[in-house]
Each structure stands twice: as structure tokens, then as C-alpha cells.
Structure 1
Amino acid sequence: MQLMTHLKMHFKHNIIVSHFSLSKETFLLLLFSYRNMCNHGSYFLAGNASLCGLTANNFFRKILNIRKAAIISALPMAVIPFISTVAVYDAFLRYPLFSGELDCQVCAVVRGGLIGAVVGGLYPIFMAVPVNGSLAARYSSSPLPGRENLLRFWLSVSQPVFRKMRFGVLIQVLTGVFLATKHHGIYVKVLERMKTSRDPEELQA
């Protein structure tokens, strides 16, 4: 009974059945076969985003000679990119895909790559700039220029960080493409199972 109750809760909350109205048997097969990829696939991309944030944060700390507040700067750089990546991936790829709004494989793969590059790779690097800039100003670890030279200063500081993080951004692009391909494959299998489950009913009719 507890197992069935747990499965019914999954049945109510899983995005796949909200649009397709699968039979319970078909959904249970889908749940056990693809549960981890459907529900937790974006966590891989988000975990890499956290690593990108922590790595970029470490590079900026070294350049700006920041020795204090290591945990204070590392915590948001790990948590915020993770949450943002999961939210954006689910909102712009997973939900539209399994609700039937996005059925083009190329479109899904392109979205996955863009989300991986922008949200999972570049966003954590850009986020590290104000975090470490505020710490450098607070602890006076590195001399900061006036407003007239502020943009030039941060461009010169950020260039080596972006060069070092190119490989991480590439990994995020590939991860986003991989997840989008997998999710689209699951979407196609859902449609195939729906078709096979409906064919006997149509023949009987």
C-alpha cells in the first residue's frame, strides 16, 4: 500500500502525465525505466554550474589577493548557479518538451546547449565579479580604480579568468546537449508507448 501511495504521488506531480494522460500501467513502466533521467537529469548540469562558480570564484580571489571570507564567497557561488540552472532548464526545456510544446529535436538540443553555455557556464563567471569585487573593496586586498577606469579594470581582470574557464563552458555546452538529447529520446519513447497502448483499443473499436 505504501508503495502504491508513493507511486500515486509521483503520478500526480510528474510533468509527463500532465499532458499525455497516460494509463497508470504505462506511467509506472516509464517511472521505473526513466525516473532518474526525467526528474534529476538537470542536476548534473547544475552540479557542473556550481563547480564553474567555485572555480571562477577561486581565480578571482587569487587575482585580487583576497584571503578572507572564503566560505562567505563560496556559498553563493555554489548554491545560486545550481538553483538557477535547474530552474531555467526545467522551465525552458524539460517542461515544454514533456508538455508537448517543444517536439523538435534540433530545437531541444540547441536550447540545451545554450542553457549549458549561458546559465551553466557564463553566468557563474559573471556572478563571481561583483562577489569578489565587493570583498576586495571591503578588505582592501587590491587597489581598485575610480569609476572612470572601473570597466577597463574589470575587463583586464576577467580576461584571464574567462580564458581559463573556456574548457568548463565547453563541458557545460556538451552536458546540456547530452541531457536535451536524452530527454527528447524519452519524449519519443513516451509517444511510442502511447501509440502501442492505443492501437489495440482502435482495433477493437
Structure 2
Amino acid sequence: MENHEPDGTIIKENLTDIIARKINQLPEAERNLLENGSTYVGLNAALCGLIANSLFRRILHVTQARIAAGLPMAVIPFLTANVSYKGFVSLPLNTGDLQCETCTVTRGGLVGLVFGGLYPVFLAIPVNGGLAARYNSALLPEKGNILNYWIRISKPVFRKMLFPILLQTGFAAYLGSRQYKLLIKALQLPEPGLEIE
């Protein structure tokens, strides 16, 4: 008889099924937080994108194309933050790949900082710069000092966006911690159908 190693995919599927079964035992509010946490991070990122868009529009005196600039500044950060939080935090938690609360909080905070806070601000620069060039609403730089111009224009926006960026980072880190604790709570629940005597 040959000595076979157990197939890792079968064990992984069983672990995922067990975690999903345990999560379904949680109360609805807690289950919703586990399942839809990435949506909340995405909504905050969309709000950061709209705020950054508004600040750049004011600085560059862009008054046209409000919807054309506002829609991508809400949708793209929402989708990016939602997918990245789901991929870096929620999915690894639900599959058992992320087993450390500190790691979960760190990942959540980094996703909130990079994809939920900084990315929308950096995305607002080319969107509003293109609109300013198209509608000639602001005096744009010559070819030699483009970088200095955008750094000078962006400094006040980044100062004003500091609080929303930190809020997004803290919220995503807190959400990661909360999701980890809910998952631990779910895993400690007894199996459905088994009675403890």
C-alpha cells in the first residue's frame, strides 16, 4: 500500500465550507458586516474621490462637466477599494489564509490608505487637469515645469484631504479588526445540528 499525502485542495475546500457554514450561523447584522465590509470601504473611497474632485475643480476654476468628472471620481475609487479590500482582507479571512488580527488590521489600514484615500486624490489630478486644459479655465504650465506646477497645485488639496484619508485608513483598519473578531466568534459557535450535553 502506498503512503499518499492528502490533497491540499480537498482540505482547503473543507475549511472554506466549514467557515461559510459557521458564518451563516451568525446573526444577520454581524453576517452582513462580514460579507459587505468591502462595500463600506468602497463607499468611503468614493466620497474621498468626490471631495478631491471638488477641491481640484475649485483650484483649477473648472465649472463645466460636473457629472463627467464626478462620475468616474466616485465609481473608479469605489470599485478599486471594494475589490482590493475584498481581495486583500475579506477573502483571505473567509478562506482561512489570514489568521492574525494584527495582519488583518494592517492589511485593512493599508488598503484604506492606498486605495481608499491616496488613489482617489491622485486620480483627481489628471481628470481635472484634462478638464482645465480642455476648457482653458486655468493657466497651465509650459513643458519645462509641469511637475513643479502639479506639486504646487496639489499641496493644498493634500492638506485638506489629510483628515478624510486618515479617517478612511482608520475605518478600514477598524473594519478589518471587527471582521476578524466576528470570524473568530463564528468559528467558536457549535456545529449546527449537534447538541451539547
TM bucket normalised to smaller = 0.7 to 0.9
Flag the 1:25–1:131 CA change in 2: closer, same or farther, 3 A. closer
The alignment's TM-score, normalised by the length of structure 2, stands at 0.85
Larger % of helix: which?
Answer: 1
**What amino acid does structure 1 have at the position aligned with 2:122?**
F
- Given the alignment of the two structures, is residue 78 of structure 1 paired with residue 74 of structure 2, yes or no? yes
For the residue of structure 2 that corresponds to 1:174, the secondary structure is helix
Contact 1:61 1:67 in 2 (8 A): yes
Corresponding position of 1:65: 61
Closer, same or farther in 2 for the Cα pair 1:49/1:91, shift >3 Å? same
Of 122, 135, 149, the match for 2:145: 149
CA distance in 1, matches of 2:22, 2:161: 43
Retained in 2: the 8 A contact 1:46–1:81?
A: yes
Correspondence 1:20-31 to 2 at 5 A:
20-22=16-18, 26=22, 28-30=24-26
Structure 1, unaligned runs of 5 or more: 1-16
- Provide, for residues 150-176 of structure 1, a one-character-per-residue CA deviation record: whole Å limited to 9, x for no partner: 000000000000000000011101111
Q: 1:43 aligns with which of 39, 42, 47?
A: 39
> Contact 2:23/2:31 (CA < 8 Å) preserved in 1?
no
Q: Distance in 1 between matches of 2:108 and 2:30?
A: 19
CA drift at 1:23: 9.2
| 2:191 aligned partner | 197
Aligned to 1:4: none
Quote how far apart the aligned CAs of 1:192 are: 1.2
Q: CA offsets, 1:127-147, max 9 Å, x none? A: 000000100110111111122
Give the drift of 1:31: 6.3
Match of 1:95 in 2: 91
**Residues 1:24 and 1:126: Cα distance change in structure 2 (over 3 Å):** closer
CA distance in 2, matches of 1:23, 1:111: 20
Q: Is the 8 A contact 1:18 1:99 kept in 2?
A: no
In 1: Cα distance, 2:92 partner to 2:82 partner? 14
Aligned positions, number: 184
Aligned-residue CA RMSD (Å):
2.4
Specify every segment of 5 or more residues in structure 2 that has no aligned partner in the other structure, as ranges: 1-12
- Corresponding residue for 1:6? none
For CA contacts below 8 A with separation 6 or more, give which structure has more relative contact order.
Answer: 2
- The separation in 2 between residues aligned to 1:77 and 1:89, in whole angstroms, is 18
Following superposition, the deviation at residue 33 of structure 1 comes to 5.3
- C-alpha contact 2:19 2:187 (8 A) present in aligned 1: no
Is it true that 1:161 corresponds to 2:174 in the alignment?
Answer: no
- State the alpha-carbon separation in 1 of the partners of residues 105 and 20 from structure 2: 30
Task: Give yes or no for contact 1:19–1:98 (8 Å, CA) kept in 2.
Answer: no
* Deviation of 1:45 (Å): 1.4
Select 1:133's aligned residue among 106, 129, 134.
129
**Residue equivalent to 1:116:** 112
